[in-house]
Amino acid sequence: MRERGPLGDFLYARRSRLRPADVGLKDYGDRRRVAGLRREELALLAGVSASYYTRLEQGQSVGASPEILDAVARALCLGEAERRHLHDLADAGRRRTPVRRPKPERVGVSTLHLLSTLESVPALVSGRRTDVLAWNRLGHALFAAHTSPSGPERAAERPNLARMLFLDPHTRELYADWQTKAEAVVENLRMVAGRYPDDTLLTSLIGELTVKSSEFAAMWTDHRVQPCAFASYEMRHPLVGTLTVTQQSLRLPPEEDQHLVLAVTEPGSPSQEAIALLGQATTAYASAPAASSAPAHPRS
């Protein structure tokens, strides 16, 4: 059987989650033999022929116009991030570019200067594949104190936020609601994968996580997409205890695939006091010799 491909898989997943009542169609209850909408129903809502939509979902048509894709997106009740993802998948299906090893990601001098000025806020710079490209002292202390602070300086040993979240028990314990955080990371990673289908390092990361984490594999097949831009999380830090931070991800022009991730706390709150305490602790230990040179991410 011919594989649907990324575009077809996404369309099928989204169609399977829609019920007739969601789009104003009659629901025949137990007599329905398919999950979600039928292809014919979706085609009718999108204003295309059933045969055309079937070819699109089966990966046999790569020439869909932006107008048709938008019509399908409306029929599927997609959000803005999902609509953009649909277009990215269609564009990737039309491209036939040679696969090259991606260039190493580097942080600009101006970004490093910006990071150094953020002394009271945990911050890091995340790359396209969620590699930590740089962090300040508080960023390292909050997100990965059990790893080497110099990890981002060595490209081959850079901590990877997605890998640590799913494969590192220390990072997993940081989040009181690990499930919500993990889903957000996967949804963002899938959106990036749709934009860069030829990124071999990204493909390798996804393959590794799929094999090593059944939870990641289940979330990945869900085909949900959403950028990680703004979210609040309760964290359980081994040094300063429980605190609530709002993680904000800000795109860094001109490197649109790099983001400055900030962990902001409410002014005057116990969480802000916890961050201040963490800052005092890291300052006290800054001049002390490193106790260990733990790897930036777990080895297998």
Domain with CATH 1.10.260.40 in the chain: 5-94
Q: Give the CATH superfamily of 5-94.
A: lambda repressor-like DNA-binding domains (1.10.260.40)
Residue 278 makes CB contacts below 8 A (sequence gap 6+) with 122, 138, 141, 142, 237, 239, 240
Distance CA 16, CA 11 (A): 8
Q: What is the dihedral of CA 177, 180, 184, 185, to 10 degrees?
A: 50
State the pLDDT at residue 262: 97
In single-letter form, the type of residue at position 157 comes to E
Distance CA 205, CA 188 (A): 14
Q: pLDDT tens across 86-140, in order?
A: 999 988 877 666 666 778 888 989 999 999 899 899 999 999 999 999 999 999 9
State the pLDDT at residue 295: 36
Q: Which CATH architecture has domain 109-285?
A: 2-Layer Sandwich (3.30)
Whether residue 279 contacts residue 120, with contact meaning beta carbons closer than 8 Å, is answered with yes
170 Cα distance to chain centroid = 20
Domain with CATH 3.30.450.180 in the chain: 109-285
Residues lower than pLDDT 70 in the chain: 1-2, 27-35, 61-62, 95-100, 255, 284-300
Q: pLDDT tens across 227-253, in order?
A: 888 899 999 999 999 999 999 999 988
